[in-house]
Amino acid sequence: MRIRAAVSAALASAGILLAGWQSGAHVAETGIAAATTSGTTSGTSSGPGAAGGNSSESSGSSSAGGSSGSTGSSGSAGAAAQAAGTFAGSVVQTRFGSVQVQITVKAGAVTDVTALQLTDDDRKSVQISNRAAPLLRAEVIKAQSAQVQTIGGATVTSDAYLSSLQAALDAANL
């Protein structure tokens, strides 16, 4: 269990560094895209997910809040390029720690969701997040939005995950 915690901490640190670097790259790309009329926003890297979790959460399920994202593009051909690249969501603070996710977008569709940071207050938190993150990832990719059910027993992590995800979807204009 100690090895898992050490690996989780190392991955979380790498994720934080990657998110900071990517935020700077995203700002630079946004400036470049704004300067051209048909530029595409593209991230330059993806990072490993971090294991973590939260403890003492409720065991029921509830609906996730936030606005829904949509996929695809509208308008005439060539008028606007579809989003592509990686986009990091905002860091969401919970009573169990911070949560941040990153999405990978290809041709205007979410192809991957990576947890850059998950709550890791204690061992139980790590177990909860290790169970919830893959389930949330699969549901988000299937739904192509942040409008998915929270995971029972991981409500705090689910809500923070989906909030960060919505910020990433907004950054990708999805």
Residue 6 structure tokens = 């050490």
Residue with tokens 């977008």: 105
| % the chain with pLDDT above 90 | 43
- Predicted TM-score (pTM) of the model is 0.56
Instruction: Decide if 127 contacts 118 (C-beta within 8 A).
Output: no
For residue 97, is pLDDT > 90? Answer: no
Centre a 10 Å sphere on the Cβ of residue 144 and count the other Cβ atoms it contains.
Answer: 17
How many domains are contained in the chain?
1
Centre a 10 Å sphere on the Cβ of residue 82 and count the other Cβ atoms it contains.
Answer: 17
Instruction: Give the tens place of pLDDT for each residue, 54-75.
Output: 433 433 333 333 433 444 444 4
For residue 46, is pLDDT > 50? Answer: no
- Across the chain, what does the average pLDDT equal? 71
**Residue 136 C-beta-side C-alpha neighbours within 13 Å:** 35
Instruction: Give the tens place of pLDDT for each residue, 115-134.
Output: 999 988 888 888 899 899 99
Strand extents, DSSP E, 130-170: none
The residue range of the domain holding 65 is: 2-171
